[in-house]
Structure 1
């Protein structure tokens, strides 16, 4: 689904990504982890065409990312940001329907009843149908994050990008949101690429982990292989205990 080869990116002559190479397969839930300032968000912005890398290659579905128009790339990808800059007092339903814009024949054709029905159905499944007519700016952080996820899902993407999607959510909603992403992988065989800070959520849901530090990939592998006390000390300078529960490692930080 995605192939990144020897990617380099600099900003104001400072090298932020150095020789990044990895692949993301169909049906995979890839977690990008690492300390703050390590290059995780910069990498995702390059993968989303928001930044222009200076050298290397990113291929999506066998096509060079630079050969996609923004509209073409929007048709195959969904994106859930950590936070949104939306300031317009739109109805929740109108925000959801934004996802259908790239499929319109022309800008003034309007959304079909089918588009609206799909949005309502998904809102019901995510348990926020009661505020479809509400001003989106009146929502709590957790409610708004579910709307952003629903908007991304409505595009029927082949690849779903998540940038710290659970940062505004309590643990119950965070698990619910990632459960939904896991279900999408199984039902639609899509790929999910997620930046996560919560190590235990990553352990629960990610099929594979990239550890990025100082602009480089330090480790690439399965959670059970990478979540060790020695490795987490190396990556995060974190003192912790790793506890196994149902064959998954969980991290207990030590003061």
Structure 2
């Protein structure tokens, strides 16, 4: 089976005439974990929201399987692409299991099948949420909530999974577990996982591909070894760093001025 791919073609976006993204061109064709990094304000979240049609670029196109997403309904896109936001809240009272079940809507609508329930159960187990399945979603901690929305995204069975800093509310142990899971899951299921990250060392340890952004543009794109260099970090983050090898992966040590 040939899975979906994304092409970003000369994409630009502005807020109130302030340029945020400038001439972005990227392709996502391989089933892997791609991490988008860069300082605050460089347009990382804006970029993934343009990919997911939550924002409309002022210039350029996003193509899903060669078709401009402007010509694809959100409902049809949701059958192939899932988005996990950085934070989420619910005005409705629902259990964790019901929240995860919402991920099945693009496939089943409001009619729940035995298959839907089985997939929900699998995703709850995958995210280690069994003890919380009957808890009210609104009563969860930030970290628990984040695991639920990831489970909901996985329940959508997407060919493309987009996440906006999914580990920001998690402790280090759970950050590593989620990153390791997403890296393995992308290859096991043959899907593309694209996520916004902020921790350079977590990214370097788990990402198959890293897209580094600077001033609204793509500054570097490649493997951790290619992207995570002292020169790139100094240019993009304006900090001095030493990059060493730890078990075959670059590890960044920030230096005092």
**TM-score normalised according to structure 1 size:** 0.95
User: What is residue 173 of structure 2 aligned with on the other side?
Assistant: 172
**Counterpart selection for 2:53 from 27, 49, 55:** 49
- SS of the aligned residue for 2:79 comes to helix
Q: Which runs of 5+ in 2 are unaligned?
A: none
Per-residue deviation, 1:61: 2.0
1:226-245 to structure 2, matched below 5 A, reads 226-245=227-246
- SS of the aligned residue for 1:151 comes to helix
1:4 has 2:15 as partner: no
1:88 has 2:89 as partner: no
**TM-score normalised according to structure 2 size:** 0.94
Q: Is the 8 A contact 2:13 2:20 kept in 1?
A: yes
Deviations 1:123-153 (A, max 9, x none): 1232211211100112122211111111101
User: What is residue 142 of structure 1 aligned with on the other side?
Assistant: 143
User: What is residue 130 of structure 2 aligned with on the other side?
Assistant: 129
- SS of the aligned residue for 2:145 comes to helix
User: What is residue 23 of structure 2 aligned with on the other side?
Assistant: 19
1:62-73 to structure 2, matched below 5 A, reads 62-73=66-77
- SS of the aligned residue for 2:57 comes to coil
**Cα RMSD, aligned residues only:** 1.3
User: What is residue 249 of structure 1 aligned with on the other side?
Assistant: 250
Which structure 1 residue ranges, 4+ long, deviate > 4 Å from structure 2? none
User: What is residue 103 of structure 1 aligned with on the other side?
Assistant: 107
Q: Is the 8 A contact 2:32 2:183 kept in 1?
A: no
Provide the C-alpha distance between the structure 1 equivalents of 2:70 and 2:169, rounded to a whole number of angstroms.
32
Q: Which runs of 5+ in 1 are unaligned?
A: none
Per-residue deviation, 1:49: 0.3
Deviations 1:70-110 (A, max 9, x none): 000111011111110323221001101101111225x4xx3
- SS of the aligned residue for 2:179 comes to helix
Deviations 1:155-203 (A, max 9, x none): 1100000100100000110111112211221111100111000001111
Q: Is the 8 A contact 2:124 2:130 kept in 1?
A: yes
- SS of the aligned residue for 1:156 comes to coil
Change (3 A) 1:217 1:125: closer
User: What is residue 115 of structure 1 aligned with on the other side?
Assistant: 116
